[in-house]
Structure 1
């Protein structure tokens, strides 16, 4: 059972009762991420996510950690290019304690200067960790290469010089200008009673906004083609091939997911079968969709030996061309539909995943989309619709290729349009 509630301060609450569970997950989703940072603020959204756990007016960072452990639950946060999320998952009888703790962090964090300085070192280590992970690094390089100066192309973590320059004043100002109740959604999924939930949420989350809210200003991204090679001493060359994508709420999004499933979304996909199983050129190859409020990307990732790079790119481009020219047949469509429905239903078996879906639906579409509605949308996808989407998304005239590893800088220029 689903309900939406809007508090007097305009904060939206979306909740789903799942009485068969013994857990409840609460998430605070703020519609602000790395793309909303202005020049000089790069990495601030993610840094703030860390700082909310570093002490409030009534709790130290250690007390916060001990308290969530004592509840037998899980508390964490994450930042994306468009949202910042704080969540807690506990047993249903711990609902009030969890809400009070989340409220304390969200409204009364102190951002003490000494904690800011300590956390800078933690985030700098996180940045170094990405630099040491070639699969993460090539995807970060690929976003910047493909989207250029667009804010979506920036790394979520920011760059070391910007992080080192941050101070408490920057954090307080950013919260005041972006953490407006109208840009905030609280999602709750699990076992609870409606009357008690509404009472607790009104008690702990009815605070008014104290800052001067900045109106969101976002412009759609534009995918650019071309080749970028970054030389690095590695055993493999890590590749990303990027193409056009669709926005999160686009009417053809289910067809795009079906297309991606056939292309590289599973072990039965064309890329996995052609590049790995038939030719043994890679260990890892897959494709995925990146969807945002106003645009998106389709990306293929692969890791291979330096001498096989051009062959891998050639095979991938050939499969892209086949799909764009011929589309998929009824057998492919039936298989990928079953795969999509199975993945969807299995992914929604926990209160955490249900909570995430509630929030994403509200933020991207402004309404709840039931599991039955999603299954119906998948069932309505046709081969003609997938073919039409392939015409748009798999146009290699805007193909962007990013390579990281020990290969010459001009080795992939032949694939540039």
Structure 2
């Protein structure tokens, strides 16, 4: 069994320790319920921009060079991510330097300088990142399907935001105000995962994590709206197309068992080389070079997304057959054998992922901050192992034939009616 313990810093930030035997590494991750879905319309892109800015230095490690060179001197890998759900900062290092890594991370993330000159310099960097994303048809398709499924809700907006926000409206004062609204200890968490033998148990960790400001949990996210799917096409003169299809499954996202059943359903549908989509769309029909399905649960809504990258002349046929496969699973149900195989594959993939301390830390952040459930990687694996055929068949029956569609390529919306 994984040894797990928790404490709380004076500022209200929970600190979760997850001891994993057999590793020499430690991942330290701090996350907050301050992702893109917590932004107001005029703030779209701010959560991601703030993620960039804190790396410019804190009180002890004053410049970006201090931050980067200290991490390298520790032999550590330092990074961050912003999603619709969360903003998170993480460092993975050898166990012997874990305390120094925590000192570094809590300084520049907990006490960032947010220097005005660095802010202006970083604008151009993020604007280039946005431009690069807009040059990649697969990324454009991801943005389109979010908008087709969620409209003008924050979940329908890109995490990077529009370039004009970076150019015109993101002042230092607005960024500080967003941070003070969303980075509350009670809506975040620190996760220490791996070999914890070199970490003290004398209050030192609590004092380091207390570098984050004491902020009341006064922010929130906008609840999701009823499903009103659309078909959106960005016409491009190309030989290749990118197709996305998004369903809204009828499951309770607050039920871990239901989320596990949806994960197994999406695995048998398109999550492996033995899945229905891969076998028929790619292998039997040769309609796509890339085809897959994935599921995701936000705090209040699940999604099931089907994706394909393919020759443009085959896009309409592939779309029609992919939709038919979902219908067949709804009407006829999956077979016992494919549920068993998908369950084994999904649980096995989770086991292999959890060999990585960073993956366990990321899982823990989502589990506790988004769903309010305990950090327990063993329970995550057990939940997949325990899903029954009937639970997966029930998920399949309740995937309604109502979907959002997004396509990038030489098409019109009428092609996918």
What TM-score range do you get, normalising by the shorter chain?
Answer: over 0.9
- Counterpart CA distance in 2 for 1:352 and 1:87 is 8
Give the TM-score of the pair, scaled to structure 1: 0.94
Equivalent in the alignment of 1:49: 51
Counterpart of 2:66 in structure 1 is: 63
Query: How far 1:224 sits from its partner (Å)?
Result: 2.5
Matched residue, 1:206:
210
Alpha-carbon shift at residue 241 of structure 1 (Å): 0.9
Query: How far did 1:4 drift?
Result: 1.3
The answer to whether structure 1 residue 26 and structure 2 residue 28 are counterparts is yes
Decide which of 395, 400, 409 is 1:395's aligned counterpart: 400
* Offset, 1:341: 1.6
Distance of 2:289 and 2:400 partners within structure 1: 26
Provide the residue aligned with 1:284 in structure 2: 290
With over 3 angstroms needed to count, the CA separation of the structure-2 counterparts of 1:192 and 1:239, relative to structure 1, is same
1:186 aligned onto 2:190? yes
Kept after mapping to 1: 8 A contact 2:29/2:89:
yes
| 8 Å CA contact retained: 1:146, 1:224 | yes
Structure 2 residue 176 is the aligned partner of structure 1 residue 176: no
Q: Is the 8 A contact 2:347 2:385 kept in 1?
A: no
* Residue 332 (structure 2) pairs with residue 323 (structure 1): no
Once the two structures are TM-superposed, the CA of residue 178 in structure 1 deviates from its matched residue by 1.4
Aligned residue in 1 for 2:39: 37
The 1:223–1:4 alpha-carbon spacing in structure 2 relative to 1, beyond 3 Å, is same
Q: Is the 8 A contact 2:20 2:195 kept in 1?
A: yes
Which one of 340, 349, 354 corresponds to residue 334 of structure 1?
Answer: 340
Q: Which residue of 2 aligns with 1:378?
A: 384
Contact 1:152 1:221 in 2 (8 A): no
Alpha-carbon shift at residue 24 of structure 1 (Å): 0.8
The 5-angstrom pairing of residues 287-366 of structure 1 reads 287-366=293-372
2:91 alignment partner, one of 70, 88, 91: 88
Structure 2 Cα separation of the partners of residues 146 and 382 of structure 1: 29
Residue 232 of structure 2 corresponds to 228
Paired with 1:247 and 1:179, the residues of 2 have a C-alpha distance of 27
Contact 1:221–1:294, Cα closer than 8 Å, also in 2: no
The TM-score normalised by the length of structure 2 is 0.94
Hey, what's the Cα distance between the residues in 1 that align with 2:43 and 2:116?
A: 17
Offset of residue 88 of structure 1: 0.6
Q: Contact 2:351/2:381 (CA < 8 Å) preserved in 1?
A: no
**Gapped regions of structure 1 (runs ≥ 5):** none
Tell me how many residue pairs correspond in the alignment.
Answer: 411
Please say if 1:138 is aligned against 2:141. Answer: yes
* RMSD of aligned Cα (Å): 1.8
TM-aligned CA deviation for residue 222 of structure 1: 3.3
Aligned to 2:152: 149
| Alpha-carbon separation, structure 2, partners of 1:224 and 1:84 | 28
Q: Which runs of 5+ in 2 are unaligned?
A: none
Query: For residues 301-351 of structure 1, what are the alpha-carbon distances to aligned partners after superposition, in whole Å with 9 as ceiling and x for unaligned?
Result: 112222212111111111111100111121111111110121011010022
Match of 1:407 in 2: 411
In structure 2, the residue corresponding to 1:75 is in which secondary structure?
A: strand
The CA deviation at 1:371 is 4.2
